[in-house]
Structure 1
């Protein structure tokens, strides 16, 4: 017979949410940094083709 799961405590759910937000913060910070480095032309992390009007990134 199915039994309901126990309730997650408020502190545990807040901890999970804080960890999720921390991960998204650092990934967005890294993406912005990479974008800035591509715009300035100082990118060493991947190869991309630079044409006259647009840039095509290849990961």
Structure 2
């Protein structure tokens, strides 16, 4: 027989949602930072071809 789950409180739901959003924010910030360093050629983890 199926038993209904307990209802999660609004505050717990909000906390989990904010953690999930924050994780996305940091991922986007990191990606933007990497793109910025690539465009200015200041990246330490990528090698650039020099045309000489």
TM class by smaller structure: 0.7 to 0.9
2:42 paired residue number: 42
Gaps of 5+ in 1: 53-59
The Cα RMSD (Å) is: 1.9
C-alpha deviation, 1:44, in angstroms: 1.4
Report which of the two has the higher share of helix.
2
Alignment of 1:1-59 (within 5 A): 1-47=1-47, 50=49
Gaps of 5+ in 2: none
- The TM-score normalised by the length of structure 2 is 0.83
Report which of the two has the higher share of strand.
1
C-alpha deviation, 1:46, in angstroms: 3.8
Shift >2 Å, 4+ stretches: none
- The TM-score normalised by the length of structure 1 is 0.74
The whole-number CA distance in structure 1 between the counterparts of 2:46 and 2:2 is 51
Query: In the TM superposition, what whole-angstrom CA distance separates every residue of 1:8-33 from its partner, at most 9, and x where no partner exists?
Result: 11000000011011111111000000
